[in-house]
Amino acid sequence: MRLEFINKVREKDILGKSILTNDGQVLLRAGVELNGNYIKKLKELGVLYIYVEDERLEDVEVEDEKLAQLKQFTIKSMSNILANIHDFNGKKLKDSLSDVEDMINYIIELGDVNKSLYDIQTYDNYTFIHSIDVCIMASFLGISAGYNKWDLKEIGVGAALHDVGKTKVPVSILNKKDKLTGDEFREIKKHPIYGSELLKKNFAISDNVIKVVEQHHERVDGKGYPYGLNSNQITKFAKLVCICDVYDAVSNDRCYRKKFRPNDAYELILSGSGSSFDRKLVCYFKNTFAIYPLGCCIKLSNKIEGYVVRQNRGFPDRPVIRVLYDIKTREPIPFFEINLLKRTDLVIESIVE
């Protein structure tokens, strides 16, 4: 399976990974043959890339089917939670969070980080997919950091709910494409407080989860918001979710800016070690997540292009790539692989769009 930018997708390509709506319904199911109308609609919805099947990359598995099903249930639950959070009592909220906890349990037991992220996002499902991806990332990062099962559940639930306070921020501000005014930016910065206030009304939510929601924009150097807390004042769970929130946010297009390139998003986290982010957690981050997703096409410094087929743990920018085409003629060739961990003379120049 390969990751293909939407402008390069052709009619009769077979969709490799399902695309979901903002309420967890299947918009377009994996296995469907794409036609002009499908491709046009995906572009209108803001889809930038999709996975398509490719027999030369059939061994590249980018999705865990069980986790995909759990994510679908969780998106539905998050849609329900965010739509009704102001009216939920403790029991209703706890019941709605059961799907989130089921997904976290699965990640703890069987999750493969390389088959868990990179959902296909549309304009209308960003909020929900972002919440779920931050939850998944935080769960994997928590596992790497050595947290126990109970801690991982609280981390995951806090991550899933981290932006719940945005339900009290006017949509006109959240979706504004132009630069925010001072008053609008101050209102946005209140969403962690709004979120903690909403959750404090529910006895089913622990203080650890509330602190994640309240502190996920705080920075260890004291330059975050809403309170400007420093490292010793921020809970360990909030420090962890903060990293995942920033990385996922800058890795996706928003109404007011384009996404960062993968290496730039990754570098943002690494460069913030000890200032914006906890130094130890950044080390765990580097050993957990890869820069370039499985199936994406990259160009090397020798101008050869190939697809990422395996990751090298601990070396996020040194995957194994498979070369399928002649660089000059673009004709298919008997493929071969390059392990960038062994080819230290080569570096990744860019993702091929």
**pLDDT above 90: percentage of residues in the chain:** 50
Mean pLDDT of 323-352: 91
Do residues 38 and 50 touch, judged by C-beta distance below 8 A?
Answer: no
Mean pLDDT of 206-224: 96
The pLDDT of residue 119 is above 60: no
CA distances from 95 to 220, 287, 347 (A): 34, 34, 48
Angle between helices 262-271 and 236-250 (to 10 degrees): 150
The contacts found for 327-335 with CB under 8 angstroms, 24 or more apart, are: 327/303, 332/56, 335/56
Indicate the average pLDDT of the chain.
87
Mean pLDDT of 97-113: 86
292 compared with 83, residue with greater pLDDT: 292
18 band by pLDDT with thresholds 50, 70 and 90: confident
pLDDT at 120: 54
The pLDDT of residue 92 is above 70: yes
Q: Of 148-152, 175-179, 282-286, 308-312, where does mean pLDDT reach its minimum?
A: 175-179
pLDDT at 267: 92
pLDDT at 117: 61
pLDDT at 26: 80
121 band by pLDDT with thresholds 50, 70 and 90: low
116 band by pLDDT with thresholds 50, 70 and 90: low
pLDDT tens readout for residues 30-77: 899 999 999 998 888 877 788 899 999 988 887 777 887 888 788 888
pLDDT at 122: 54
pLDDT tens readout for residues 284-333: 999 898 888 888 899 999 999 999 999 998 888 899 999 998 888 888 89
Neighbour count for residue 331 (Cβ, 10 Å): 7
